[in-house]
Amino acid sequence: MPRLPFFPLIFFAFTGLVGADTVLVLPFFNQSDSRNIDWIGESIAETIRESLASRGVLMLSRDDRVEGYRRLSIRQNAVLTHATIIKLGEALDADQVIYGTYGLTAARKSETGSREQAQPASGAAESSVSPRDSLGISARILDLKRSHLGPESKELGALEDLASLETHLAWQCLESLEPKTAPSEQEFRRDRPALRLDAVENYIRGLLASSDEQKHRLFTQAARLDPRFSEPNFQLGKMAWNRKDYRVAQDWLQKVIRTDSHYYEAMFLLGLCRYNTGDFGGAEKAFQIVATAVPLNEVLNDLGAAESRLRSSSALENFRKALEGDATDPDYHFNVGYALWKQGDYTQAAESFRAVLDRNPEDSEAVLFLGRCLKSDGQRVRDPKSEGRERLKLNFEEMAYRQLKAELDPKH
């Protein structure tokens, strides 16, 4: 259970509060004959999901949705019936489902150069799609809790203005879901620049790509085409983190902007990268940013680890906060014991190492430190068996934290 300061967990168990709704966004369905524009439906969904998540709306991730499709054997890019949309939403415990359609019409020129009436785009080569073609988008919000289908929202404009059309549609969705707290459209757009169409297309095709090599190439191209585009930076940073290429990961992650819904996860990973490259001061700063907004046990633990490396007196306090949030985790007991041992408090440290062994009798490192506590054997200079033994946490459960916070501190 994520640690929520100032809210006793027993309160959550008995109040029966109704928190904020969880929202699922489906890829919009392509009503054109052309198959080479299927990425647009994914782009619309991703922009809505990202924009609403950055405003604090509880959004199911794209990975959640892909898993839902897999469990229900739904083919990607399939046009879903109303019944299937309901079934998918219920399978993923969504309260609201946003879905819709889009279509492209090509404005063709006559031999004299004048515009003829727009014709439906056909499934020809990709080069036949022009940025000036007309794009129509229609969106609906299905309230599963109240069995209510909201009114249709429509957008119409040039394909090259896709980012702007998506942003307006996202703002309309936010206004429908959060009418009391939604900002003005001008404020909403301020942090969402109209991105280049080719950058958006490369990013979405990167999300849809099946290989890491393809993903890396497309995300890199998206970031190069529009430096204002934050999401490719996060994806590239996370890919480098997964490869343990910490220095490359840092370069990408520090470019993730604060209005990006991945910002705190990016800062958490940045803190881990800096820690692994020996920049403990930089790691401390990154973890502090995250701990202020998302004080999860793992964040407080890793903040304590960075502070411990810096010999800061705050390390033990943060280790204890993590332990208060989850007393079942042996790593939190170990870090508290290790910090106490470093301070020369062998009696209290021994109790913590015993707690580790109660939960994991096979922990040889805890056995070693317990023995040293019993002998009042303190730190030794440049002893690899006793220096830098802090234990890090690599998980970051921001969604679980925000769901619990919504239950305990509802907006409405």
All domains in the chain, ordered by first residue: 9-107+124-194 (3.40.50.10610), 254-402 (1.25.40.10)
**What pLDDT digit, counting tens, does each position of 49-88 carry?**
999 999 989 999 999 999 999 999 999 888 999 999 999 9
Q: What is the pLDDT of residue 19?
A: 54
Query: pTM of the prediction?
Result: 0.88
Using 50, 70 and 90 to split pLDDT, how confident is the model at 227?
Answer: very high
Alpha carbons 269 and 238: distance in angstroms, whole number: 8
Using 50, 70 and 90 to split pLDDT, how confident is the model at 114?
Answer: very low
Question: Does residue 117 surpass a pLDDT of 60?
Answer: no
**What pLDDT digit, counting tens, does each position of 335-355 carry?**
999 999 999 999 999 999 999
Question: Does residue 13 surpass a pLDDT of 70?
Answer: no
Least confident piece of the model among 327-341, 353-367, 372-386 = 372-386
Q: What is the pLDDT of residue 226?
A: 97
Average pLDDT on 164-192 reads 94
Using 50, 70 and 90 to split pLDDT, how confident is the model at 33?
Answer: confident
Q: Do 318 and 339 touch, CB atoms closer than 8 A?
A: no
Using 50, 70 and 90 to split pLDDT, how confident is the model at 125?
Answer: very low
Average pLDDT on 293-308 reads 97
Q: What is the pLDDT of residue 400?
A: 87
Q: What is the largest CA-CA distance in the chain?
A: 96
Alpha carbons 215 and 95: distance in angstroms, whole number: 31
DSSP 161: G
Alpha carbons 404 and 263: distance in angstroms, whole number: 19
Using 50, 70 and 90 to split pLDDT, how confident is the model at 10?
Answer: very low
**Which position has the higher pLDDT, 278 or 121?**
278
Question: Does residue 105 surpass a pLDDT of 70?
Answer: yes
Q: What is the pLDDT of residue 12?
A: 36
Six token digits for residue 337: 């014991």
Question: Does residue 126 surpass a pLDDT of 80?
Answer: no
Using 50, 70 and 90 to split pLDDT, how confident is the model at 379?
Answer: confident
Question: Does residue 1 surpass a pLDDT of 60?
Answer: no
Six token digits for residue 46: 């991703």
Average pLDDT on 255-283 reads 97
Six token digits for residue 230: 């934050």
Q: What is the mean pLDDT of the chain?
A: 89
**What pLDDT digit, counting tens, does each position of 135-161 carry?**
999 999 999 999 999 999 999 999 999
Go through 152-186 and write b for each residue having 16 or more CB atoms within 10 A of its CB, e for each that does not: ebebeebbbbbbbbbbbbbbbbbbbbbeeebeeee
End-to-end CA distance of the chain: 24
Return the percentage of the chain with pLDDT > 70, whole number.
89
Alpha carbons 203 and 50: distance in angstroms, whole number: 13
